[in-house]
Each structure stands twice: as C-alpha cells, then as structure tokens.
Amino acid sequence: MDQDDQLPTRRPRSDGVQARERILGAALRLFVERGYASTSVRDIAQAADANVAAIAYYFGDKAGLYRAALYEPICARDGEDALSDVSAAPLPLRTALARTLRACLAPLGQGRNALLCVRLRQREAFEPTGMLDDERPQRDRLQRHLTAILARELGVDPDSELIALAFSIKALVVYPYIGHEHIHTAEPRLFDAPGALDAWVERLTAYAAAMVDAERARRFR
C-alpha cells in the first residue's frame, strides 16, 4: 500500500451519512477516470471535501472503499430478479429479451452513482483488481441466460456462433454506459425524457430481435 493510502484512525467529521455518500461519490468518479492503482486516498478525500480519517472510519481502507464503489450503488437493484423470471418458464422471444435488457439497463434510471458503478465494473475487465472474483458466477449467469434463450428460440444446441450472438446482444447495452456523456451531449432527451428507460428497452429489444432473425436466416436458408 502506498504511503498516501495509509489511513489514520482519527474520528471523522460529524456529518454522518452525507459525508459517507460524498466520499463514495468522489471515489466512484476518480476510480472510473483513473483506475484503482492511480487513485490515492488523499485524492479522494480532497475531491470529497473530507479528511482521510473519515475514509478510514466509513470504509476501513482504500480497498474497502473500492469494494463499496463496486457493489453498493447497484446491490439493491431489482433488475437481477428479471433473469429468474425469464428462466422460470418459456416466454416469447421479444418478452424474454425485453426483460433481460431491462435488467441490464436498470442502473441507467437509478442515478449517477449507479451509472458510475457499472462503468467501474466494466473497467475491471481491462484493469482487474480481483475484487469481483467472488461474483464471477453471477457475471457468467447473464451469458448463459441469453444463450439459453437463443438456443430455445432457434431450436439448436449452443455452439460458438450462438455464444457469439449472445455476446453481441450483451454489447447493445454497453455503450449507453460507457458513452453516456457523449450520448447525453448529442441528444439529452435520450436519457432525460419521461420514459427514457422504457424507450431504450424497446429499441434495443427490436435490435436484438433483428439480430436473432438474421441468425435464423443464416442457419436455415
């Protein structure tokens, strides 16, 4: 641990929950921008207008703060339950895709910290810290889930092409996160208009269904 990341044990400022949320928000922004290794505790404290002791009090150390940034903003979201609902019984393709994509897109409607949390998790794919290793089975679940939907719809056993299609459908939900600022600058209504999340689900479901139709045509022409 770097010297800057050694945390003292002094009592924090007495602004309670607000101080903790301010620290977590600042940490999310900096971890997304710079990565874990390049972000120091002192950087976070300065950005949060907090003292380093407050970080020790609320999160223990830099690793504890990073783990909170990875998990807390989305740990209570309801979207994950949709995967169980879809897997419980066969559904029409568009219904199954819509529920799955809504589960993936749910954080878009849950505030900036949830959005940053998803972007931080995506950064983990390129700069892994190992702090999401315990969640690997859950991360693999979406891939298996999509592959099962596609195999059932097309009436085939999973193969490399079907897995590639599942990855391609997953990719549809990536850019609304990593390109959120660019999209918002180009057309704010795509995120700010009433029913924006529903519109994203509808359009991406249509795109995904078209991809399935293209794969069906390729296989059975």
Q: Which domains does the chain have, with CATH numbers?
A: 3-72 (1.10.10.60), 77-220 (1.10.357.10)
Return the pLDDT at 77.
45
Rounded to whole angstroms, the Cα distance separating 210 from 1 reads 50
- The pLDDT score that the predictor gives to residue 16 is 67
**Does pTM top 0.85 for this prediction?**
no
Which residue numbers in the chain have pLDDT < 50?
1, 3, 8-10, 12-14, 76-80
Could you give phi then psi for residue 60, rounded to 5 degrees? Answer: 90, -65
**DSSP labels for 32-84?**
HHH-STT--HHHHHHHHT--HHHHHHHHSSHHHHHHHHHHGGGTT-STTHHHH
C-alpha count within 13 angstroms, C-beta hemisphere, residue 106: 17
The whole-number pLDDT of residue 79 equals 45
28 burial type by CB count under 10 A (0-12 exposed, 13-18 middle, 19+ buried): buried
Q: CA triplet 90, 96, 101: central angle to 5 degrees?
A: 155
Beta strand extents in 85-207 (DSSP E only):
none
Q: Where are the beta strands (DSSP E) in 93-201?
A: none
Straight-line distance from the first to the last Cα atom of the chain, in angstroms, rounded to the nearest whole number: 59
Give the tokens for residue 203.
Answer: 């359009």
Residue 144 pLDDT: 87
